[in-house]
Amino acid sequence: MPTNNILYRSFKKDYNKIEKMLLLPIDIMPISSSDEILCKTSVRLKSLWDTGATLTAIKPKLRDALNLQMVRTGSSAKVFGLGTVTDADFTVLNLKIRHNFEIHWCPVYIIDYNVDVDIIIGMDIISMGDFAISNADQRTSFSFIAPSMPERLDLTEKAKTLNSKIII
């Protein structure tokens, strides 16, 4: 099937055991920093890919360390989580997930969360493509491709094929 000249960007992260958290180092460019030097500097962060998070977020202490300026829209986003509702302002960053995979002018919300990661990658980014997790051989891996592939991923068809080979 032709791809209509669409450039697909992807990556895969492998772990040596079953993981409960999908962590991946990524680089950001704090383009909204009030510090001209920081605006041109790549910063390595520990990211958590979280399908339970609607938005991509960083902590206030990272916003402060990078002198990030907030986008002024006159309103903030309502963020729901862990039994609370928070108003969150946002800034923009360039995310460099891998050498050939960048997201420019990505909105990132400022939320104080209790996870030891620098940035949470939420469904606003994950929904830009296809996301898959595997735990084969007691080792976790996850992969991501953007934009979505032309055909839908369907593990039920794979299961049917594997089950048809079972001799009872």
Domains of the chain: 10-163 (2.40.70.10)
> What is the C-alpha separation between 150 and 129, in angstroms, rounded?
10
What Rg, from alpha-carbon coordinates, does the chain have? 19
How confident is the prediction along the chain (168 residues), in pLDDT tens digits per residue?
A: 555 788 999 999 999 999 999 999 999 999 999 999 998 899 999 999 999 998 999 999 999 999 999 987 666 676 766 566 777 889 999 999 998 899 999 999 999 888 999 999 999 999 999 999 999 999 999 999 999 999 888 899 889 999 998 887
The two three-digit tokens of residue 29, written as one number: 């460019």
Q: What global pTM score does this model have?
A: 0.88
Q: Is the separation of the CB atoms in 144 and 129 below 8 Å?
A: yes
Q: Can you name the residues that pair with 53 across neighbouring β-strands?
A: none
> What is the C-alpha separation between 79 and 153, in angstroms, rounded?
30
